[in-house]
């Protein structure tokens, strides 16, 4: 019966085992699973043990490193010594040398520092410095760890220098003054700061800081600064004076009011900040701060040490200015332990000075002579004479600018040759020359100027310095004024606002200094290659001899060699046959150009001669008073052919004794397609200058019988004289007719 039937053997089982699974497989699987679980437990224990071992190793290593660091710190701390501020300052003075690197010119800071106790310093200056530099000075531990690390890494990456933030750290920086930007130096500063903090009181630290910090004007310490800026002792400084000094010490160069209006305005802003910081700290009232912040206190005129006497002061001043341009601060310049080798040659400096003193007429106290000599192959300034002793006047006439007159014509000649004209091409030499707008220019000479003919070569025009030839040339060059300007700038004439592209640009009313004119002439002497003139060869650090700066001149070709040879040849004719014949006394090949310029009233105000040999270019300028006063009736002869050329020759005779005689390369006589017709060479030579109408010759008279001929009676031969010309009509800046100027509303040239 169906209800009693058994299920077949081996049928489905509630266990869900796979069909065909052997009996006992379940037990085997269970054993295997258990083994896996045990293995996992064992592996987990092993991993934990390994991690513990690593942690223990790291802990032990960390403890060892900490102990080593502590030991190193303790050792370094014990070895760190606090230097004597006076000794540290002495070893860090910066010195300047002549070009040979051995003969010393001088130093910038002459130990202008007097240490005084804190009690001899005004309370105002102590308060002002703390308010300006470190408001937490009286309570902090002397260092700012975060600031040290931040500044060290920033400086190491070459970013702008970041300084320490506390007065203690700044004090340390003064004692260890170097230009290094390394983590090592920052760590050393930290050690020294901690040690000073532990061994010295806050009063001692502030006293040391105020006796060593730099305040500008070569003054180290508050006592020297008080005398240098205000002529009083440090104990007598008032609130405004104290805030002034506290403000300027933050950046003595950027905040030096002696350097100009922008520097004074920057100081005024920081000065105001100092005063209001003092008010916030309760040292003065807010009303006092507001009233005092309206203007800077009055300062006294800077006094210079005797080491700045003669030309030495000009030399050091020029070097300092150049160092500033190279990025050095006054603090680094005066006390950074620099060794500066200049381009100055002791013999050339002496030659330039002796030439001026030997040639200028005596007794003319307002007469100023500037002279500068430049190496034609490098642009190195070899020597100069800037005027009377630097201690009497800081005006350096070798670097001050004035109008060169006809000494500018070689640049116009170079522009004309570049445009396609040749030395043999001719231009109008008659006086006056009339511009298209009706304005005129005249030549030197009486009765409206000398006439040289309507077809005068450029060669003869430069030789005799004929104004109308260069007026005609300027008009004949396409965009002539602009092209002459660009050529002059390319050749080394400074690109100034005064150098305007006007019709009279070739006649030289724009101002230029002797050193810049000598350097621009060097471009001609060096085959058309221009150099930036310079006066610093090398800068090294005294502490380790490391070279911080080295000048490597990089000439740039601005006119072709053939054109430079032609310009040089024309300037050689000025010396051989023209207005510069006094330079023949040099006794070796030379080239040059004379020049004089007048004011808008026709009075001669400058007299020049600038010239060169293949090796050296020298420029000489004579002026009176402020450089714009008439030379006529004051200087016995105002022509560039006289005193300036004689002075140039006297200087170059001594300078060139150290150089072998060299000849100039021959002229190329470049002859290309002229941009305008009507200037073809004229074969006959130009006629001699016409200064007055010829007198009719008397007709012979017949006599009945001959009479005895009397013996001739000798009469004295008058010495040749040069008469100044009268005012003439010249073009104005815009080229419109005018009764004054020479195309730029100002000077006209004479020679």
Q: Per-residue pLDDT for 91 more than 90?
A: no
pLDDT at 226: 95
pLDDT at 334 over 90: no
Q: Over 60: is that where the pLDDT of 470 sits?
A: yes
Q: Which two tokens stand for residue 526?
A: 């060096």
Q: Are 97 and 105 in contact (CB under 8 A)?
A: yes
440 within 8 A of 475, measured Cβ to Cβ: no
Q: What is the pLDDT of residues 599-615, one digit of tens each?
A: 988 899 999 999 999 99
- CATH 1.10.3810.10 domain span(s) along the chain: 111-304
Q: Lowest-pLDDT range, 10-14, 69-73, 299-303?
A: 10-14
Reference 359, options 573, 571, 607, 579; nearest CA is 607
Q: pLDDT tier at 32 (50, 70, 90 boundaries)?
A: low
Task: Centre a 10 Å sphere on the Cβ of residue 359 and count the other Cβ atoms it contains.
Answer: 20
Label residue 705 by pLDDT band (50, 70, 90): very low
Mean predicted confidence (pLDDT) in 721-742: 32
Tell me the angle at which helices 480-490 and 467-476 cross, rounded to the nearest 10 degrees.
Answer: 100
Higher pLDDT, 1 or 151: 151
pLDDT band at 462 (very low <50, low <70, confident <90, very high): very high
Are the beta carbons of 186 and 143 closer than 8 angstroms? no
Beta bridge partners of 374: 381, 617
CA distances from residue 7 to 4, 17, 22, 141, 515 in whole angstroms, order as listed:
10, 17, 20, 97, 127
The DSSP bridge partners found for residue 87 are none
Lowest mean pLDDT among 192-206, 397-411, 724-738: 724-738
The DSSP code sequence of 336-355 is: S-EEEEES--HHHHHHHHHH
What's residue 271's pLDDT? 96
Using DSSP, state whether 368 is helix, strand or coil: strand
CATH topology of domain 381-658: Beta-lactamase (3.40.710)
pLDDT band for 175, please (50, 70, 90 cuts): low
Comparison of pLDDT for 547 and 3, the residue scoring more: 547
Binned at pLDDT 50, 70 and 90, residue 31 comes out as low
Residue 486 neighbours by CB distance under 10 Å: 17
Picking from 493, 537, 643, the residue whose alpha carbon sits closest to that of residue 582 is 643
Bond preceding residue 521 cis, omega within 30 of 0: no
Residue 70: per-residue pLDDT: 60
How much is the average pLDDT of 21-38? 51
For residues 343-361, average pLDDT: 97
Stretch among 522-536, 603-617, 671-685 having the lowest mean pLDDT: 671-685
Q: What is the dihedral of CA 148, 153, 156, 159, to 10 degrees?
A: -100
Residue 745, CB half-sphere, CA atoms under 13 Å: how many? 7
DSSP state of 426: E
Mean pLDDT of 89-116: 81
Integer CA distances (angstroms), 191 to 81, 181, 336, 427, 669, in order = 10, 17, 22, 79, 73
Q: Model confidence over 126-164: pLDDT tens digits?
A: 999 999 999 989 988 777 666 556 555 555 555 444 445
Whole-number pLDDT of residue 153? 59
pLDDT band at 166 (very low <50, low <70, confident <90, very high): confident
Domain 111-304: which topology?
Penicillin binding protein transpeptidase fold (1.10.3810)
Q: What is the CA radius of gyration of the chain?
A: 41
Q: How confident is the model at residue 332 (pLDDT cuts 50, 70, 90)?
A: confident
Q: What is the mean pLDDT of the chain?
A: 82
What pLDDT, on the 0 to 100 scale, is given for residue 481?
A: 97
Asked whether 331 and 108 are in contact (CB, 8 A), the reply is no
The span from the CA of 389 to the CA of 387, in Å, is 7
**Contact (CB, 8 A) for 717 and 410:** no
Tell me: pLDDT of 504 over 90.
yes
Where does the chain hold its CATH 3.40.710.10 domain(s)? 381-658
Reported as a pLDDT band with limits 50, 70 and 90, residue 170 is confident
Q: Which residues pair with 341 in a beta bridge?
A: 97, 538
Percent of the chain with pLDDT over 70: 76
Q: Label residue 37 by pLDDT band (50, 70, 90).
A: low
pLDDT on residue 330: 85
pLDDT higher for 111 or 128? 128
Kindly state the average pLDDT of the residues 371-378. Answer: 98
Which of 85-99, 334-348, 517-531 shows the lowest mean pLDDT across its residues?
85-99
477-500 confidence digits (pLDDT tens): 999 999 999 999 999 999 999 999
pLDDT of the residue at 424:
96
């Amino acid at each position: 019966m169906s209800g009693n039937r058994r299920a077949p053997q081996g049928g489905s089982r509630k266990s869900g085992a796979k069909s065909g699974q052997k009996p006992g497989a379940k037990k085997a699987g269970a054993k295997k699973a258990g083994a896996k679980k045990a293995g996992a437990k064992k592996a987990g224990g092993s991993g934990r043990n390994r991690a513990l071992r690593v942690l223990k190793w790291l802990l032990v290593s960390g403890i060892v490193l900490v102990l080593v660091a502590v030991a190193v710190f303790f050792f370094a701390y014990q070895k760190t010594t606090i230097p004597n501020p006076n000794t540290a300052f002495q070893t860090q003075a910066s010195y300047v040398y002549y070009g040979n690197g051995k003969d010393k010119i001088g130093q910038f800071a002459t130990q202008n520092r007097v240490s005084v106790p804190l009690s001899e310093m005004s309370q105002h200056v102590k308060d002002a410095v703390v308010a300006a530099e470190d408001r937490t000075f009286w309570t902090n531990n002397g260092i700012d760890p975060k600031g040290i690390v931040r500044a060290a890494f920033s400086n190491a990456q070459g970013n702008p220098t970041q300084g320490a933030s506390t007065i203690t750290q700044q004090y340390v920086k003064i004692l260890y003054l170097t230009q290094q930007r390394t983590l090592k130096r920052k760590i050393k500063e930290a050690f020294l700061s901690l040690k000073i903090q532990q061994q010295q009181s806050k009063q001692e630290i502030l006293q040391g800081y105020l006796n060593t910090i730099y305040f500008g004007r070569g003054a180290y310490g508050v006592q020297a600064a008080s005398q240098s800026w205000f002529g009083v002792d440090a104990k007598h400084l008032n609130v405004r004076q104290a805030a002034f000094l506290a403000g300027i010490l933050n950046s003595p160069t950027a905040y030096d009011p002696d350097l100009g209006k922008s520097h004074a305005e920057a100081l005024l802003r920081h000065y105001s900040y100092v005063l209001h910081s003092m008010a916030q700290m309760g040292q003065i009232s807010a009303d006092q701060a507001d009233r005092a912040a309206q203007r800077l206190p009055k300062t006294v005129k800077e006094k210079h040490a005797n080491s700045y006497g003669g030309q030495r002061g000009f030399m050091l001043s020029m070097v300092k200015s150049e160092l500033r341009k190279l990025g050095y601060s006054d603090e680094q310049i005066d006390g950074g332990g620099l060794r500066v080798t200049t381009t100055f040659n002791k013999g050339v400096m002496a030659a330039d000075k002796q030439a001026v003193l030997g040639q200028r007429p005596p007794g003319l106290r307002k007469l100023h002579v500037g002279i500068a000599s430049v190496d034609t192959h490098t642009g190195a300034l070899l020597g100069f004479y800037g005027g009377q002793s630097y201690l009497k006047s800081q005006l350096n006439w070798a670097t001050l600018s004035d109008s060169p007159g006809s000494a500018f014509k070689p640049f116009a000649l170079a522009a004309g040759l570049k445009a396609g004209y040749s030395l043999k091409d001719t231009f109008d030499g008659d006086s006056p020359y009339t511009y298209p707008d009706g304005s005129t220019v005249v030549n030197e000479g009486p009765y409206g100027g000398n006439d040289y003919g309507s077809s005068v070569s450029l060669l003869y025009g430069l030789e005799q310095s004929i104004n109308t030839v260069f007026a005609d040339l300027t008009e004949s060059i396409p965009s002539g004024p602009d092209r002459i300007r660009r050529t002059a700038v390319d050749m080394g004439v400074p690109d100034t606002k005064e150098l305007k592209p006007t019709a009279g640009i070739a006649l030289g009313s724009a101002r230029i200094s002797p050193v810049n004119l000598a350097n621009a002439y060097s471009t001609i002497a060096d085959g058309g290659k221009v150099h930036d003139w310079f006066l610093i060869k090398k800068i090294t650090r005294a502490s380790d001899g490391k070279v911080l700066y080295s000048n490597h001149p990089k000439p740039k070709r601005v006119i072709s060699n053939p054109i430079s040879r032609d310009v040089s040849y024309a300037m050689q004719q000025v010396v051989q046959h023209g207005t510069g014949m006094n330079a023949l006394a040099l006794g070796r090949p030379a080239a040059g150009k004379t020049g004089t310029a007048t004011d808008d009233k026709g009075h001669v105000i400058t007299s020049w001669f600038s010239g060169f040999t293949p090796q050296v270019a020298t420029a000489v300028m004579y002026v009176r008073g402020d450089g714009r006063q008439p030379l006529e009736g004051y200087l016995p002869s105002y022509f560039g052919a006289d005193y300036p050329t004689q002075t140039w020759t006297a200087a170059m005779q001594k300078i060139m004794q150290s150089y072998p005689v060299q000849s100039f390369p021959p002229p190329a006589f470049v002859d290309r397609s002229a941009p305008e017709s009507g200037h073809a060479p004229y074969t006959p030579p130009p006629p001699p200058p016409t200064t007055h109408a010829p007198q009719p010759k008397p007709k012979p008279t017949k006599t009945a019988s001959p009479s005895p001929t009397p013996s001739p009676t000798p009469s004295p031969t008058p010495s040749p004289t040069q008469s100044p010309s009268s005012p003439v009509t010249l073009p104005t800046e815009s080229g419109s007719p005018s009764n004054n100027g020479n195309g730029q509303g100002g000077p006209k040239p004479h020679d």
